[in-house]
Amino acid sequence: MLKHLPQSIRLVEVGPRDGLQNEKTIINLEDKFNFIKNLAAAGLKEIEASSFVRAEKIPQMQDSAQLFDRLIAEPSLKNTHLISLVPNLIGMKEALVHGVKDIAVFTSTSNSFNKKNINSTIDESLLKIEEVLSVAKTQHIRTRGYISTVFGCPYEGKTSLTELKRIALRLKELGVYEISLGDTIGIANPKQVQEVIEFLSVDFPLDFFSMHFHDTRGMAIANVLTSLELGIGSFDSSAGGLGGCPYAVGASGNVATEDLVYLFESMGIKTGVDLDKLIYASELILAKLGNISLSKSHTAYVAAKK
């Protein structure tokens, strides 16, 4: 039942990092820069732009330093939060050199997933995050936390709500302003979404969370709707549905920003995003990748214009 819908919600665009990272075709610096500029021009105010990781690990992110030098110098992006994923102290130090002011740190509710993904147990990852955040705090860097596999892990199946709470409390203690709860393999259903959110609402205000759904099984929009009804006001999404998770078999597709914009705006909830301009941004990068859009709203919109 839809009651007390908010007047507006926040969208955190993850296409340029989470999306592109999982695409095989390497996008050059200029095209990445333009993609981010176009997304900001469409009205997206928080954009995960890149990550400071070892180039040999994630080739798509090898030019993050040069990209940030360009982004920081771009006047039209002055009011955009450009977020960089930072896995450790080395990444943090490099990010600072290149003018990064918003970072994201990463862990998961699954030891197996963390081991495969970042070669750390949960507790080891929390120690790395502590190191990163001790620097971030002194430099007034805004830090977002990611928790992956909240709704299920490709290696361990269901993960523990108690562990989720412990990790979330620790991240809060360390100073993150928000935690993004990831349905990494797109396995969540609305009932489970309700269970997780109601469980966390005992210890946290709901505006401490953003929901990060994958549309692997076509359930993302329903999961977003349930989150919205429960009081969540922030959602991660990827323009054109770019990306997925390379470590999770069968997992493809962050929920598309276009589909979220359509959902919210059609219900009178403001996203601040101009769908025309967003589709322009997506079309350009999809052409570079040789991909078609994974967003049905996008496809229907383009068909209607013809």
Among 76, 79, 202, 303, binds its own copies (CB under 8 A): 303
Residue numbers 194-253 binding its own copies by CB under 8 A: 194, 215-219, 221-222, 224-226, 229-230, 249-250, 252-253
CB 153 within 8 A of CB 113: yes
Catalytic (active site) residue 245: yes
Helix orientation angle between 89-97 and 64-73, rounded to the nearest 10 degrees? 40
Task: State phi, psi for 120 to the nearest 5 degrees.
Answer: -145, 150
User: Could you say which of 52, 208, 209, 262 contacts its own copies (CB under 8 A)?
Assistant: 262
d(CA 267, CA 264): 5
Which listed residue (27, 82, 245, 260) is catalytic? 245
Contact between 190 and its own copies per CB under 8 A: yes
Find the binding residues for its own copies in span 277-296 (CB under 8 A): 295-296
Contact between 50 and 85 under an 8 Å Cβ cutoff? The reply is yes
Instruction: Render 95-144 in DSSP notation, one character per residue.
Output: HHHTT--EEEEEEES-HHHHHHHHS--HHHHHHHHHHHHHHHHHTT-EEE
Stretch that binds its own copies, among 16-24, 93-101, 138-146, 298-306 (CB under 8 A): 298-306
Residue nearer to its own copies on the CB measure, 135 or 269: 269
CA–CA distance, 91 with 38 (Å, rounded to integer): 26
Alpha-carbon distances, residue 14 vs 80, 82, 101, 220, 259 (angstroms): 13, 10, 16, 15, 14
Pick out residues in 34-93 that bind its own copies (CB under 8 A).
none
- Minimal distance, residue 46 CB to its own copies, in Å: 22
**Alpha carbon distance 187, 216 (integer Å):** 7
Rounded to a whole number of angstroms, the minimum distance from the CB of residue 295 to its own copies is 7
Find the shortest distance in angstroms from Cβ 247 to its own copies.
Answer: 15
Q: Where on the chain is the footprint of its own copies (CB under 8 A)?
A: 1-3, 5, 186, 189-192, 194, 215-219, 221-222, 224-226, 229-230, 249-250, 252-253, 256, 259, 262-263, 266-268, 295-297, 300, 303-304
- Hey, which residues are catalytic here? 245
